Amino acid sequence: MNYFFSSMREATRAVGHQYGAFLGSVLTVFLAMLVAGSFALIIKNTNIALEKLRNEAIVEVYLDTDIDSLGRESLRDEIVASRFVLGVKFISREAALYRLRETFGPEMVAGLKTNPLPESFEISLDPDVFEQENFNSLIEELAKLDGVDDIGYVPTVITKLKTLFNLLTLLGLLMGLLVALATGFIVGNTIHVKIADRRQTFYIMRLVGASTNFIRAPYLMIGTLIGLFGSSMAILFAWLAQLYFSGYIIQTEFLTTIELVCFITSGGLFGFIGSYFALKRFLRV
């Protein structure tokens, strides 16, 4: 415990001696971690939107106008037989007209003398149809069935959003690597500045019996604190931005408690690693 407090006092003294460099490093790490945090939020909310669309995906199959009840039931059985179909709901012409009126207002249907809308089936899909890339083949099979006039809403946006998510994930991993390198480099330079004028002091400390770990510990603490403060500030700023975005633009999700802890801890870890290599390279103790 005394060892810890001694190291902390030395770290505080070193920060106070060159507090400008410490604050500058914290702000620089803050900006780098803010970019990483922003990517993390974008990736998370894109994935949430993708999962929501996959789970709520509906395909509308419009029926021929001359189909009878027997043909309709036969078509329903063929649709249900598909392993990617979770459920089928019949929509009558009257129900379709009611939906149109409720969605767009009475003015939309006020001038209609007859109901032009066809009967249809609403098909809910198994989300695995998108994972296994069998969606197009399923639509082609549905279009070939007897009694099918047309396929309505086809959620091709899910495929596009999945491609976007994969791209964002790749960019996020690359960004995380760059942020880790940048944080380590920033902290390493800061530690190098702090120890550059203290080589003689370290030599004397070794002569009086100070261990290598005792000499290194304060500066490892400084590097870790730079990373922790920078990542904490970044996540606080990202949280405030997310609150504004959710309140005025569109509802989004923030990081979970575990994700927050991992994010802040990673900043401290990057700082620790950067200071460790700076000490190993420049201090040579």
More confident call, 61 vs 155? 61
Strand 120-125 vs strand 85-91: parallel, antiparallel, or unpaired?
A: antiparallel
Rounded (5°) CA angle 56-57-59: 140
DSSP states along 138-181: HHHHHHHSTTEEEE----THHHHHHHHHHHHHHHHHHHHHHHHH
pLDDT at 204 (0 to 100): 58
The predicted pLDDT at position 19 comes to 64
Q: How are beta strands 148-151 and 58-63 bridged, if at all?
A: antiparallel
DSSP letters of the chain? Answer: -HHHHHHHHHHHHHHHHTHHHHHHHHHHHHHHHHHHHHHHHHHHHHHHHHHHHHHH-EEEEEEPTT--HHHHHHHHHHHHTSTTEEEEEEE-HHHHHHHHHHHH-GGGTTT-SS--PPPEEEEEE-THHHHTT-HHHHHHHHHHSTTEEEE----THHHHHHHHHHHHHHHHHHHHHHHHHHHHHHHHHHHHHHHHTTHHHHHHHHHTT--HHHHHHHHHHHHHHHHHHHHHHHHHHHHHHHHHHHHHT-------HHHHHHHHHHHHHHHHHHHHHHIIIII--
Residue 98 has pLDDT above 60, yes or no: yes
Q: For 253-283, how does the pLDDT look when each residue is reduced to its tens digit (9 = 90+)?
A: 888 889 889 989 988 888 888 888 877 765 5
Minimum mean pLDDT among 69-78, 140-149, 209-218, 261-270: which range? Answer: 209-218
* pLDDT at residue 92 greater than cutoff 70: yes
pLDDT score of 285 = 47
Q: Is the pLDDT of residue 229 over 50?
A: yes
Residue with tokens 């083949």: 137
133-142, long-range: CB < 8 A, 24+ apart: 134/84, 135/159, 138/82, 138/84, 139/59, 141/82, 142/59, 142/61, 142/79, 142/82
pLDDT-derived band at 232 (thresholds 50, 70, 90) equals very high
pTM above 0.85, yes or no: no
- What's the pLDDT tens digit per position in 145-176? 888 888 876 566 666 667 777 787 787 788 77
pLDDT at 123 exceeding the cut of 50: yes
> What's residue 247's pLDDT?
79
Least confident segment among 67-76, 116-125, 153-162, 211-220: 153-162
Six-digit token pair at 68? 């009878």
- Judged by phi (left if over 0) then psi (alpha if -120 to 50, else beta), residue 88 lies in beta
Give the C-alpha separation, 44 to 176, whole Å: 14
Crossing angle between the packed helical segments 2-17 and 19-56, to the nearest 10 degrees? 100
Burial class (CB in 10 A: 0-12, 13-18, 19+), 127: middle
Q: How far apart are CA 273 and CA 278, in angstroms?
A: 9
